[in-house]
């Protein structure tokens, strides 16, 4: 079992660490530690009254360490990505103790393990570390042997570098941890317990009649999560996919619901389109200039400039005249991106760079689109009939995804139109 933090704890840890690193007073540390104590100890006495003392000591140890670290950060007035990573693992450190105690209370032997001990070896990219392939063997040798007589409860969200420095795997990273561990022990299935019934056809806040998808493929889920759908950590499918392990998404608060099953082969559905997602805070950048026609290396210069500035490009489209390249980035990176590109204008590689913040990217996802003729026609006709103007189109080469850009205000409308067009609120079609 891999556990994440209790709701909101990771956010609180980030907030306090940031605050005390540049505040004159350390006065907020004590009340914060006390609030964590009350919260976790009260759950402990509920789920494992007979282990409240033994396991309570472990909680106190964690709180004492956290207290020391927060005070150190305050005294130094310095919060590095490395120390922040260490601090934000405390939600998982505390919660894993509770879950392990609950097992023991029910007569099931259980131990607590941190993600590093369990064998998750990562890159040193603090805040967004990635598991290295060596993790696999390490997990097999460290976790597998324990399974015969105990349930290891492993702290999610964290791993460590080869030097033993604690890293975190990005927000919602416990899903990713679970997938890495599941792949490492060659599990039959990986179950992600969350707080919704499963992966949905669209965001229910935008589409009230959005429906839980019964079965979906690895590729479709990857496209969905890379495209902003908060279904699970975007990297959590890859380890499962490599070993062909079924992933199930289930609701902790509604366990009898079948949830969503994620498998290799997509289940054929006559509707072709399976899910819709959109990201509203994006900016559209258009780079044009006749200088670009037929000239090799312009695209390279553009993308290197953006990569050097650490701008993540979400979508790309190039007109066949080559006089024009459009791309989509996160709105918060717009200033950095236009600065980086202005250099190319100075160098005469491109004539003009323009941008538009009033943009929102919509992704239409479905493995069936690959072979179906006329999908693009149907999508854009429906949007046109609904009065939505499309500013840019891009089709992923995986053909599992067609995405396009519309004005921000048109995003929800576009999703609504396509959800109706493909009758996604109806049950799975055979
Ligand atoms: N606790 C971490 C977070 O809030 C990881 C997780 O919840 O999966 O991002
Ligand atoms: Mg979470």
CA pair distance 311, 334, nearest whole angstrom: 9
What pLDDT, on a 0 to 100 scale, did the predictor assign at position 226?
Answer: 78
Closest atom of ligand 1 to 92 CA is 1
**How close is the Cα of 10 to the center of ligand 1, in Å?**
6
Closest atom of ligand 1 to 176 CA is 8
Residue 115 near ligand 1, beta carbon < 6 Å: no
Residue 91 near ligand 1, beta carbon < 6 Å: yes
The angle formed by the CA atoms of residues 143, 146 and 149, to the nearest 5 degrees, is 155
* Ligand 1 site-directed mutation target among 7, 8, 94, 172, most atoms within 8 Å of CB: 172
Residue 171 near ligand 1, beta carbon < 6 Å: yes
Tell me the β-bridge partners of 361: 279, 405
CA pair distance 222, 199, nearest whole angstrom: 12
The angle formed by the CA atoms of residues 94, 100 and 105, to the nearest 5 degrees, is 125
- Distance set, CA 80 to CA 115, 127, 130, 319 (Å): 21, 11, 19, 43
Tell me the β-bridge partners of 278: 362
Residue 157 near ligand 1, beta carbon < 6 Å: yes
* Ligand 1 site-directed mutation target among 1, 3, 5, 128, most atoms within 8 Å of CB: 5
The residue length of the chain stands at 430
CA pair distance 91, 95, nearest whole angstrom: 6
Residue 174 near ligand 1, beta carbon < 6 Å: yes
Residue 194 near ligand 1, beta carbon < 6 Å: no
> Helices in 151-262 by DSSP H: which ranges?
173-184, 218-226, 237-242
Q: Which ligand has the shortest distance to the CA of 128?
A: 1
**How close is the Cα of 193 to the center of ligand 2, in Å?**
10
The pLDDT tens digits for 360-388 are 999 999 988 877 888 889 999 999 999 99
Selection from 232, 285, 241 nearest residue 260 by Cα: 232
Per-residue confidence of the chain (430 residues) as pLDDT tens digits? 999 999 999 999 999 999 999 999 999 999 999 999 999 999 999 999 999 999 999 999 999 999 999 999 999 999 999 999 999 999 999 999 999 999 999 999 999 999 999 999 999 999 999 999 999 999 999 999 999 999 999 999 999 999 999 999 999 999 999 999 999 999 999 999 998 899 999 999 899 999 999 999 999 998 888 777 777 888 899 999 999 999 999 999 999 999 999 998 766 667 889 999 988 889 999 998 866 666 778 888 899 999 999 998 988 888 766 678 899 999 999 999 999 999 999 988 888 999 999 999 999 999 888 778 888 899 999 999 999 999 999 876 567 889 999 999 999 999 999 999 999 998 866 5
Instruction: State how far Cα 73 lies from the chain centre.
Output: 28
Domains of the chain: 2-185 (3.40.1160.10), 275-421 (3.30.2130.10)
CA pair distance 118, 274, nearest whole angstrom: 36
Reported in sequence order, the residue ranges of 237-374 that DSSP labels E, i.e. its strands, are: 246-251, 260-263, 275-288, 313-318, 324-330, 352-365
**Any long-range contacts for 37-41 (C-beta under 8 Å, 24+ apart)?**
37/63, 39/6, 39/9, 40/6, 40/94, 40/95, 40/97, 40/98
Q: Which residues, 6+ apart, have CB-to-CB distance to 330 below 8 Å?
A: 281, 282, 283, 312, 314
CA pair distance 154, 139, nearest whole angstrom: 11
3-state secondary structure at position 268: coil
CA pair distance 224, 230, nearest whole angstrom: 8
What pLDDT, on a 0 to 100 scale, did the predictor assign at position 167?
Answer: 98
Q: Which residues, 6+ apart, have CB-to-CB distance to 234 below 8 Å?
A: 222, 225, 226
Contact predicate 191/248, CB 8 Å: yes
**How close is the Cα of 250 to the center of ligand 2, in Å?**
14
The angle formed by the CA atoms of residues 387, 392 and 393, to the nearest 5 degrees, is 100
What pLDDT, on a 0 to 100 scale, did the predictor assign at position 349?
Answer: 85
> What angle do the packed helices 411-421 and 375-385 form, to 10 degrees?
120
Residue whose CA is at the smallest distance from ligand 1 atom 6? 172
| Sign of the Cα pseudo-torsion (222, 7, 250, 4, in order) | positive
The pLDDT tens digits for 102-148 are 999 999 999 999 999 999 999 999 999 999 999 999 999 999 999 99
* Ligand 1 site-directed mutation target among 174, 235, 249, most atoms within 8 Å of CB: 174
Reported in sequence order, the residue ranges of 289-351 that DSSP labels E, i.e. its strands, are: 313-318, 324-330
| Sign of the Cα pseudo-torsion (176, 181, 184, 185, in order) | negative
Residue 10 near ligand 1, beta carbon < 6 Å: yes
Residue whose CA is at the smallest distance from ligand 1 atom 2? 172
The number of C-alpha atoms within 13 Å of 93 and in the hemisphere containing its C-beta is: 23
Contact predicate 222/275, CB 8 Å: no
């Amino acid at each position: 079992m891999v556990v994440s933090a209790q709701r909101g704890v990771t956010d609180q840890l980030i907030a306090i660490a940031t605050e005390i690193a540049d505040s004159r007073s350390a006065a907020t540390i004590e009340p914060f530690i006390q609030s964590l104590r009350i919260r976790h100890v009260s759950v402990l006495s509920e789920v494992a009254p007979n282990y409240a003392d033994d396991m309570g000591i472990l909680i106190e140890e964690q709180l004492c360490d956290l207290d020391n670290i927060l005070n150190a950060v305050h005294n130094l007035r310095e919060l590095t990505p490395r120390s922040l990573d260490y601090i934000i693992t405390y939600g998982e450190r505390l919660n894993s103790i509770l879950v392990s105690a609950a097992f023991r209370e029910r007569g099931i032997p259980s131990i607590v393990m941190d993600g590093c001990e369990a064998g998750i070896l990562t890159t040193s990219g603090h805040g967004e570390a990635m598991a290295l392939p060596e993790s696999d063997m390490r997990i097999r040798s460290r976790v597998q042997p324990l399974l015969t007589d105990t349930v290891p409860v492993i702290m999610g969200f964290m791993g460590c570098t080869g030097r033993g420095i604690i890293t975190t795997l990005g927000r919602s990273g416990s899903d990713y941890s679970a997938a890495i561990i599941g792949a490492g022990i060659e599990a039959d299935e990986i179950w992600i317990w969350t707080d919704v019934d499963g992966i949905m056809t669209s965001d229910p806040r935008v589409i009230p009649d959005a429906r839980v998808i019964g079965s979906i493929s690895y590729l479709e889920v990857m496209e969905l999560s890379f495209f902003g759908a908060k279904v699970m950590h975007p990297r959590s499918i890859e380890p499962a996919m490599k070993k062909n392990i079924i992933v199930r998404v289930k609701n902790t608060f509604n366990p009898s619901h079948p949830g969503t099953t994620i498998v290799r082969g997509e289940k054929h559905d006559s509707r072709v389109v399976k899910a819709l997602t959109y990201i509203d805070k994006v900016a559209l950048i258009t780079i044009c200039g006749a200088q670009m026609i037929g000239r090799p290396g312009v695209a390279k210069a553009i993308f290197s400039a953006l990569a050097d500035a650490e701008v993540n490009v979400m979508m790309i489209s190039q007109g066949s005249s080559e006089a024009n390249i459009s791309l989509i980035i996160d709105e918060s990176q717009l200033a950095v991106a236009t600065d980086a590109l202005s250099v190319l204008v100075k160098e005469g590689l491109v004539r003009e760079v323009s941008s538009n913040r009033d943009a929102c990217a919509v992704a239409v996802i479905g493995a069936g689109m690959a072979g179906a003729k006329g999908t693009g026609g149907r999508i854009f006709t429906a949007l046109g009939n609904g009065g939505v103007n499309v500013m840019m189109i891009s089709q992923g080469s995986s053909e599992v995804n067609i995405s396009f850009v519309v004005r921000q205000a048109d995003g929800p409308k576009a999703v609504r139109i396509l959800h109706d067009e493909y009758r996604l609120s109806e049950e799975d079609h055979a």
